[in-house]
Structure 1
Amino acid sequence: MAFGSFNHHRNPGPMADINVTPMVDVMLVLLVIFILAAPMFTGSVQLELPKAQAAATPSTPAATVTLSIDGKGRIFWNNDPVGQEALQARLVDAAKLEPQPELQLRADKDTRYEIVAQVMAAAQSNGLTKLGFVTDPKEKK
């Protein structure tokens, strides 16, 4: 008979309570095992890498080109004003240089994003790959 059979007036039925104590015990044991075993899995693999006999290449620092855009949308190449056609020609010439110069894009905070996006797209379409944004540090109060 089931537990609680001393009370004959009770309706006999299946017990609906779930005993989770054994499951918690098993999970705690697994947790301890994983905590103890985790440092064993982080060991490094010893490899013998091949040795290379190559001379160091002389590294010439890449030139830096500053593209500035003022609040009115005018574009400046190293502080010289340029138009859209002249900008395209200069970007083509810069893409042919080896190593390619790094473009540093400086835009006024009032500049329309459309103009900035057009300059970025022109640089990318002409093959320039190094583009950085120049910002002023936040003023301390």
Structure 2
Amino acid sequence: MPYSANPQGHRTRRRPMSEINVVPYIDVMLVLLVIFMVTAPLLYQGVDVDLPQVDAQAEQDPPQEPLIVSVDADGRYYLNMADDPEAPLDRGELSRAVMAILTDSPDKRVLVNGDSNVPYGDVVSVMVRLRDAGAAGVGLMTRRPDGEG
């Protein structure tokens, strides 16, 4: 058994140390914390992508004229079946008009025609309003990449 001398010169028996040194574990945890703090924001950032253009065939002989909500570059809303299709509508008027049309024709197709310069959130907001007004499904209008149709 190991012995050590105390200040009075007596020999005492040393007890085994029963504590665990956690300092290395804390160091490892801090390193892991820093790694996760650096990598987590990278997982949620958007990536710039150039979406593909597809050559889709237009639907032949649609059964009835669809309800088309247009959003221009300034964020104004237009409805092709409104009293005056050339007059912009505010959000409340748009919702009421769409609800009235869909009450009469619940199976009417609903499409959104958004300007390419309109923020994506504005188009999604219109789609949500249309769903709330009773549209069973909402489609997006596009044009062909070569400018046809």
Give CA-to-partner distance per residue, 1:65-121, whole Å, 9 cap, x none. Answer: 111111110111014321111101112112212343211211111101121111111
SS at match of 1:101: coil
Structure 1: unaligned runs, 5 residues or longer: 1-60
Deviations 1:5-36 (A, max 9, x none): xxxxxxxxxxxxxxxxxxxxxxxxxxxxxxxx
Aligned to 1:132: 139
Give the conservation status (yes or no) of the 8 Å contact 1:63–1:100.
Answer: no
TM-score (norm. length: structure 1): 0.51
Partner of 1:102: 109
Q: Could you report, residue by residue, the CA deviation over 1:30-71 in whole angstroms, capped at 9, with x for unpaired residues?
A: xxxxxxxxxxxxxxxxxxxxxxxxxxxxxxx34411111111
Query: Are 1:111 and 2:118 counterparts?
Result: yes
The gaps in structure 2 that reach 5 residues or longer are 1-62
Residue 122 of structure 1, aligned match among 116, 129, 134: 129
Q: 3-state DSSP class of the match of 1:116?
A: helix
- Cα RMSD after superposing both structures: 2.1
User: Is the contact between residue 70 and residue 108 of structure 1 (CA under 8 Å) also seen in structure 2?
Assistant: yes
Structure-2 residue corresponding to 1:87: 94
Distance 1:129 1:65 in 2: 12
Length, aligned pairs only: 81
TM-score, structure 2 as length reference: 0.49
SS in 1 for 2:70: strand
Letter aligned with residue 133 of structure 1: L
Aligned to 1:64: 66
Q: Secondary structure at the match of 1:82?
A: coil
What CA distance in whole angstroms lies between the structure 2 residues aligned with 1:76 and 1:82? 6
Query: Which letter does structure 2 place at the counterpart of 1:131?
Result: V
The answer as to whether partners of 1:62 and 1:100 remain within 8 angstroms in 2 is no
Q: CA deviation at 1:131?
A: 1.7
